[in-house]
Every structure is written in structure tokens, then in C-alpha cells.
Copies of this chain bind each other. A is one copy, B any other.
Amino acid sequence: MKLEKAASQLEALGNPTRLQLYRILVRAGEGGLPVGSIQGKLDIPSSTLSHHLKRLVDTGLVTQERQATTLICRANYPGMNALIGYLADECCADASCAPAVGKAMA
């Protein structure tokens, strides 16, 4: 993963509203959630939600699929795993990093 991409994903998650939004999608599981449902949980205007959602989609952390008039949103687990992997790798690059998360000592 390129540093630029990692940074953009981190930035996307680095906003309380978006992190909360992402959390909701993660907890929703594979089935995902329509935009309207998310709005009910977050209680923010639809235009604001749409912007945040777009940000997460643009950075590859969330995917969307149309089902008639509703748009289903899903957390992109592989995307998140790649990001976590990047952070873990950076963290343990050539430093001792004992309590690392599942990274074999290189």
C-alpha cells in the first residue's frame, strides 16, 4: 500500500462522524445498510451524510450497491485489513515492537 493511499484512508477515518459511520457499517456486517438507515442512526442531514459517505467510498473503505431506489453501503473489510496491515508493518518495520498485533518478528 502506498503512503498516499494510507494517509487518505486514515484521514477519512479521522473524523468522528465518519468513524462512527464506518463503525455502524462494520457492525452491520456483510448485509450492509441503506443510506437512509444510516441517517436514522446518525441523525444528520442527508446532504452531510452523503458527503461523508462519498469520502469513505472514494478512499475505498466502503462500497455501495444500488437496489432499486435504495443504496446499500457496506464496509470494505479487505480495504480495512490492508490499512491495518500497513500500520502494523510500519510499526514493526525495523523496530522492536513487542505487543504488536499478529505480526511475526521479521
Contact = CB atoms under 8 A, between A and B. Distances in A.
Interface of A: 3-4, 6-16, 19-20, 22-23, 26-30, 75, 77-78, 80-81, 83-85, 87-88, 90-91, 93-103
Name the prevailing secondary structure of the A interface residues.
helix
B7 A95 contact: no
Copies in the complex: 2
8 contacts: A3-B23, A7-B13, A23-B90, A27-B93, A28-B95, A30-B95, A81-B91, A101-B102
A72 B48 CA distance: 42
Most buried by B among A23, A85, A90, A93: A90
Contact of A102 (B4, B14, B93, B103): B103
Contact of A3 (B11, B20, B30, B84): B20
B101 A85 contact: yes
A81 B97 contact: yes
